[in-house]
Amino acid sequence: MDRDIARQTLADIDRTRERALALRNYAQLGPVFAAWGVAWLVLNLGNHFHIPFGGLLGASSIVLATAISIVFGKAGRPKSDAPAAGHKAALASAMIGIAIFGVVVLIAPTDRLLANAVVSWMAASAYALAGLWFGARISILGIVLAAVVVGAWFLARESFELLVGAVGGGVLLTTGLWLWRA
């Protein structure tokens, strides 16, 4: 076998392996994105329409989406991972959660809408960045969510929660179901 053919064959194997890993990641992350889509819908639409107990429903949806993220995150991690890698991932998730909690605690009492926009922007940015590791579809999702957040903020602030809930939550839910089938 000539060197060029061998090199090309190895490159084909690498591309196939990367594609298989991306598809596995998509299927594993699908339920997580679907859960967060429901949380965005419940939280934002509950706030926009001033639903009684909307805050409690929104908080409950966040707790449920977080639990689903933890369960599917652990289930998707290969068993051969070193314990240190799992601890680092858990620590990074906790730090992100603390950062988001800090934003809400600091900003929400004076401007709930701004706190929502900042947290939504942080989530969209995290998805766009995570796509570098988990697949381009995740980055595209993050970019679309960022466009929804920025567009709603600058073009329709009075309907921000409605748009972020319906469009952003809908995009998350639809993408989650689509990825789940990958």
What is residue 77's predicted lDDT score, i.e. its pLDDT? 60
Q: What is the pLDDT along the chain (182 residues), one digit of tens a residue?
A: 688 888 998 899 999 988 888 888 888 899 999 999 999 999 999 999 999 998 899 999 999 999 999 888 776 665 555 677 777 877 888 888 899 899 889 998 999 999 999 999 999 999 999 889 888 999 999 999 999 999 999 999 999 999 999 999 999 999 999 998 87
From the number of C-beta atoms within 10 Å of its C-beta (0-12, 13-18, 19+), residue 81 rates as: exposed
Give the Cα separation of 24 and 142 in Å (integer).
19
Predicted pLDDT at 88: 82
User: What pLDDT is attached to residue 73?
Assistant: 79
Look at residue 76 in the predicted model and tell me its pLDDT: 62
Q: What is the pTM of this model?
A: 0.84
Alpha carbon distances (Å) from 98 to 52, 92, 110: 28, 10, 19
Residues near 139 by Cβ (< 8 Å), separated by ≥ 6?
A: 127, 128, 129, 130, 131, 132
Neighbours of 31 (CB within 10 A): 19
The domains of the chain are located at 21-76+83-180
